[in-house]
Amino acid sequence: MSLLKKAFPAGLYAVIITFWLIMAPGAALAQDYSAIDQHALAAPEEVKESIETLVDYLIKPARNDRERLRAVFRWITANIVYDTEGFFASLTDLEGAPDTVTVAIPETEMVLTPEMVLTKGVADCDGYSILMEAMTETLARRVRQYTNLARRVTSLEIHQIKGFAKGYGYRVGSDFSGTNHAWNCVNLDGRWLMIDCTWGAGHPNEKGEFVAEFEDYYFLTPPEEMIYSHFPNDITWQQVEKPVSREEFIDLPFLWPSFFKYGMKVDSHPGSTFETGGDVEISLYAPDSVLFDVDMIGQNRLLEPQYTFVQHDGEQCRIKAVFPGPGEYVLRLFSKLKDEEGTSKETLNYKIIAGSGAENQAGFPLIYEPFQQNNAYLYLPLTGSLEAMRTHAFKLKVPAAKSVAVVTDGKWHKLSLVGESYEGEVETAAGPVEIYARFPGSLTHDCLLEYIAR
């Protein structure tokens, strides 16, 4: 797990995997929707009197169907609040089957209409999706009404999809029962793409409150990506070349938007759940512009950071974990771009069944942010606990570093540059043992790694 910067003065499945290999998810050029978004967010109160007046306002500056859909999507995600009270009332665990989650869209005798959602401004996923459907159908009619080209101008077709989604409350690798979500599938220019206004608007937190947090990823999501989290009741609406079975869906890795947005690919472990011994190494493909954090939950607690270790080797990301004992663990990967502000976002979850505890209970050294920011890679030593008053070999790659040193008992031991790696042998005193590097343009050394010598 990487920590905050520390500075001191110097001194699977074949079809889906094939799709990934052909074109990295999220690699397509992003379209700039800023002007359309700004227009949608500035909608005055008077245009909200009806779906028709609202749609007329939203599509005025739009130049094509994509921008028209975007205006509707952005307005809904900004103006409809999620019904968290109804959501938490529907979340229950199936009695007698702790690994099965059963959730359902609340049933009501009242027929929900798009107009009701618009007026109330609060909805569950069913309400979000029927409003998106109604507004899309309205804009399609409007476009045809005001042009002589009629059907040739727009071929928009939209449907509401119901099924199961790996959302809040889902435990990676768990079976499921019932229908818990609704979203939309839209035919845009001859291709079916997915829209999820509910997840685009935000998410509930553990306090039962709705957190408004716009997620652009759920606008026109490729079906090959959406299938990792959304499973339609009618498999026809998967819209993938080879339909995924219920069992395959459960076993697909638990992936979040950042996984696709940052162009990552699964490598060593294509399933959501796997068995291992006392340790494991997982590899992914990711651009070196992505920073990672990793943690692990097990034995009913969040484990200490030294049980996990993540680093980049070119475009291959390697995650190592050791386990304090046999049992079930959830490994969580978080990521953000190097130049991105804010905290890392949840990216991938694995359920790991460890058959034993690791022989090396010491775990790994602590990683500080400059280690990843500068594409460093550690070869030796990988154990976080070193024997005091003993000489240890150090070897790591730190591209662009001007100098690298091991600090123990306040003394600096400079490592030698051998080829592309910094290497050397250092006798470690009891206490913290840290590796620092100085980079061009800096008068300070940044802490990369920290060990403890006992």
Check: CB of residue 415 under 8 Å from CB of residue 394.
Answer: yes
Q: Are residues 91 and 204 in the same domain?
A: yes
The confidence score (pLDDT) of residue 145 equals 78
pLDDT tens string, the chain, 454 residues long: the values are: 444 334 433 334 443 433 333 333 343 346 899 999 999 999 999 999 999 999 999 999 999 999 999 999 999 999 999 987 665 555 544 333 445 554 455 555 568 899 999 999 999 999 999 999 999 999 999 888 776 544 445 679 999 999 999 988 899 999 998 899 999 999 999 999 999 999 999 987 777 788 899 999 999 999 999 999 999 999 999 999 999 999 999 999 999 999 999 999 999 999 999 999 999 999 999 999 999 999 999 989 999 999 999 999 989 999 999 999 999 999 999 999 999 998 999 999 999 999 999 876 679 999 999 999 999 999 999 999 999 999 999 999 999 999 999 999 999 999 999 999 999 999 999 999 999 999 999 989 999 999 999 9
Q: CA of 345: how far to CAs of 88, 178, 294, in Å?
A: 23, 28, 11
Q: Are residues 343 and 371 in the same domain?
A: no
Q: Are residues 205 and 276 in the same domain?
A: no
Q: Are residues 342 and 389 in the same domain?
A: no
For 380, the domain range is: 365-454
In a domain, 236, yes or no: no
Check: CB of residue 172 under 8 Å from CB of residue 349.
Answer: yes
- Which class for 340: exposed (0-12), middle (13-18), buried (19 or more C-beta within 10 A)? middle
The whole-angstrom separation of Cα 156 and Cα 136 is: 8
Q: Are residues 315 and 440 in the same domain?
A: no
Q: Are residues 132 and 268 in the same domain?
A: no
The residues, any chain, with a CB within 8 Å of residue 95's CB and separated by 6 or more, are none
Q: How far is CA 38 from the centre of its chain?
A: 26
- CATH code for the domain of 433: 2.60.40.10
Which of 238, 195, 189 lies closest to 217, judged by CA? 195
In a domain, 17, yes or no: no
Q: Are residues 275 and 370 in the same domain?
A: no
Q: Are residues 110 and 202 in the same domain?
A: yes
The residues, any chain, with a CB within 8 Å of residue 101's CB and separated by 6 or more, are 93, 94, 169, 170, 171, 174, 175, 176, 177
The confidence score (pLDDT) of residue 148 equals 53
Model pTM?
0.85
The whole-angstrom separation of Cα 437 and Cα 402 is: 7
The whole-angstrom separation of Cα 10 and Cα 405 is: 10
